[in-house]
């Protein structure tokens, strides 16, 4: 990998600093008493919910503190550690890198998400992650609804040296997907990453289009698409949960990538998403450059979000 482990952790901490500060500000206001009582537990729960961690996580932390510290002195640092530990417990089972395991090749990845979520840029960054592992990657500009999406993917493909299959605006997305899989297979590519339309105004139309794309891919390769990855914009906060609900129904999402964690104080929503949906989290992004999306590490994320000193074992 092009990032040193601690270099990436520092970037993750910096990216999550606004989320961490929001949680810290909320918690700091709680510590006005010396002993943990019911009122203080309730305030801690409210602080965690306000930090977008969700009611389930808030209840878990509260129960843990009540079991271990009730009617005893408790510090903010101790609460942060419990928060980090409980977040990691929720995130660890769903932390799963996106891997090239398909045989025969290529691993076919359908990428979905609303317009503006960073979907097209994320495709290039996922392709770069595969290239770092010496896989040959092809991209397909399947969001044929928007000229900007096609052009943006072509630009990124040029930057990372990945061929991009594209067509004119308004072309049949399923036809393009079929053509790209044919070319990726005959060209001996290890992975094919396909962009898709992200308009939700007409949910039925989007559902029909994605169903058709998946159907034509499976005609050519029974197991394709191998992954349906939803790109979420962290700045949307709790609305990300609604997007997961919709795209799980519309596209059969198999995993998540969260972008723009550096632009928000609402990064805790990823924890709420993990607790509620149990979908694999493949990667997180904290910036604009090609190296700013890395495989998801639950311990690093939990510690950065809780604002405690980094541990070991960071990817």
Question: How high is the pLDDT of residue 264?
Answer: 81
Give the three-state DSSP class for 211.
Answer: helix
3-state secondary structure of 228: strand
Over residues 283-307, mean pLDDT: 91
pLDDT at 227: 98
pLDDT at 138 over 60: yes
Least confident of 180-184, 227-231, 300-304: 300-304
Helix axes 38-50, 17-28, angle to 10 degrees: 160
Amino acid 262: pLDDT: 87
Mean pLDDT, to the nearest integer, of 67-88?
91
pLDDT at 11 over 90: no
Domains parsed from the chain with CATH numbers: 5-94 (1.20.120.140), 107-306 (3.40.50.300)
E-strand spans in the chain? 107-112, 137-140, 164-165, 191-195, 227-233, 255-259, 281-285, 293-295
Task: Reduce the DSSP state of residue 257 to 3 states and report it.
Answer: strand
pLDDT at 13 over 90: no
pLDDT band at 6; cut points 50, 70, 90: low
- At residue 89, the pLDDT reads 96
- What pLDDT is stored for residue 204 in this prediction? 84
Q: What is the mean pLDDT of residues 289-295?
A: 91
153-160 average pLDDT score: 97
d(Cα 40, Cα 66) in Å, to the nearest integer?
10
pLDDT at 33: 64
Tell me the percentage of the chain whose pLDDT exceeds 90: 64
Q: Residues forming the annotated binding site? A: 113-120, 195-199, 259-262
Interval 232-261: pLDDT, tens: 999 998 899 999 999 998 899 999 999 998
For the record, the structure tokens of 186 come out as 């005959």
pLDDT at 62: 93
User: Could you tell me the CA-to-CA distances from 175 to 52, 167, 169 in Å, in that order?
Assistant: 40, 10, 13
Please tell me the distance from the alpha carbon of residue 281 to that of residue 274, in angstroms, as a whole number. 8
| pLDDT above 70: residue 51 | yes
Residues 251 and 237: their CA atoms lie apart, in Å, by 21
Look at residue 1 in the predicted model and tell me its pLDDT: 41
Q: What is the pLDDT of residue 303?
A: 92
Any idea which residue has 């972008």 for tokens?
Answer: 259
Which residue ranges make up the annotated binding site for GTP?
Answer: 113-120, 195-199, 259-262
pLDDT of residue 81: 93
Question: What is the token pair recorded at 292?
Answer: 């700013």
Per-residue pLDDT at 2 exceeds 80:
no
Please calculate the CA angle 124-127-130 and round it to the nearest 5 degrees: 155
CA distances from residue 155 to 120, 121, 152, 279, 286 in whole angstroms, order as listed: 10, 10, 5, 31, 21
Please tell me the predicted confidence (pLDDT) of residue 313.
33
Of the candidates 276, 277, 294, the one whose C-alpha atom is nearest the C-alpha of residue 285 is 294
Other Cβ atoms within 10 Å of 28 Cβ, number: 11
Q: Which range has the top average pLDDT, 5-9, 69-73, 176-180, 257-261?
A: 176-180
Question: Mean pLDDT, to the nearest integer, of 172-197?
Answer: 97
The pLDDT value given to residue 310:
57
Mean pLDDT along residues 220-230: 97
What tens digit of pLDDT does each residue of 265-281 get? 788 999 999 999 999 99
The per-residue pLDDT of the chain, averaged, comes to: 90
pLDDT classification of 177: cutoffs 50, 70, 90? very high
């Amino acid at each position: 990998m092009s990032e040193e482990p601690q270099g990436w952790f520092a970037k993750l901490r910096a990216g999550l600093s606004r989320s961490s500060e929001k949680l810290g500000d909320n918690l700091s206001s709680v510590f006005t008493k010396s002993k943990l009582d019911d009122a203080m537990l309730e305030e801690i729960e409210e602080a965690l919910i306000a930090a977008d961690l969700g009611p389930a996580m808030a209840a878990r932390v509260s129960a843990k503190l009540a079991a271990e510290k009730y009617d005893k002195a408790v510090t903010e640092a101790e609460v942060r550690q419990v928060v980090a530990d409980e977040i990691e417990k929720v995130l660890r089972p769903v932390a799963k890198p996106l891997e090239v395991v398909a045989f025969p090749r290529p691993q076919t990845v359908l990428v979905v998400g609303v317009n503006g979520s960073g979907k097209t840029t994320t495709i290039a960054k996922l392709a770069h992650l595969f290239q770092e592992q010496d896989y040959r990657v092809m991209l397909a500009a399947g969001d044929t609804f928007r000229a900007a999406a096609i052009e943006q993917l072509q630009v990124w493909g040029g930057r990372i040296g990945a061929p991009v299959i594209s067509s004119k605006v308004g072309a049949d997305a399923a036809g393009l997907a079929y053509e790209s899989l044919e070319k990726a297979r005959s060209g001996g590519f290890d992975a094919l990453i396909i962009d898709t339309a992200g308009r939700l105004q007409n949910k039925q139309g989007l559902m029909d289009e994605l169903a058709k794309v998946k159907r034509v891919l499976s005609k050519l390769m029974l197991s394709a698409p191998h992954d349906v990855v939803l790109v979420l914009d962290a700045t949307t906060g709790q609305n990300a949960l609604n997007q997961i609900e919709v795209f799980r129904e519309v596209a059969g999402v198999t995993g998540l990538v969260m972008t723009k964690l550096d632009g928000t104080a609402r990064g805790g929503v990823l924890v709420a998403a993990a607790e509620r949906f149990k979908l694999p989290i493949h990667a997180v992004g904290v910036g604009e450059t090609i190296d700013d999306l890395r495989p998801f590490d639950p311990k690093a994320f939990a510690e950065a979000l809780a604002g405690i000193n980094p541990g070991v074992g960071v990817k």
